[in-house]
């Protein structure tokens, strides 16, 4: 499953980040394999989506979220 498929309120664990222009930047911001994130909400038309990671919120385009493999937690 990818982060793009996450529903509001779902907690997921990052498994892998696929190749993208943002990969290094996302990893620098703490989005690394093993990290738990919570899907907070998505914009009215579905793009972007907001996630809670560590102690802050991050907005990602669905295109970028589709490159992040996750597994549901709890």
Q: Is the pLDDT of residue 1 over 80?
A: yes
How confident is the model over 3-33, as pLDDT tens digits? 999 999 999 999 999 988 889 999 999 999 9
What are the residue ranges spanned by the domains of the chain?
A: 3-72
State which CATH number among 2.30.30.90, 2.30.300.10, 3.40.50.720, 3.30.460.10 fits the domain covering 3-72: 2.30.30.90
Token readout for 22 is 């943002």
Cβ atoms of residues 35 and 53 within 8 Å:
yes
Token readout for 45 is 């038309």
- Rounded Cα gap, residues 73 and 44, in angstroms: 25
Question: How many alpha carbons fall within 13 Å on the CB side of residue 63?
Answer: 3
Q: Kind of pairing, strands 68-72 and 56-60?
A: unpaired
- Rounded Cα gap, residues 46 and 48, in angstroms: 6
Q: Specify the pTM.
A: 0.87
């Amino acid at each position: 499953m990818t982060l793009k498929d996450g529903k509001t309120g779902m907690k997921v664990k990052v498994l892998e980040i696929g190749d993208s222009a943002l990969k290094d930047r996302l990893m620098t911001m703490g989005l690394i394999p093993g990290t738990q994130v919570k899907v907070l909400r998505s914009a009215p038309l579905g793009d972007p989506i907001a996630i809670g990671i560590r102690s802050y919120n991050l907005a990602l385009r669905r295109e970028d979220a589709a490159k992040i493999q996750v597994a549901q937690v709890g």
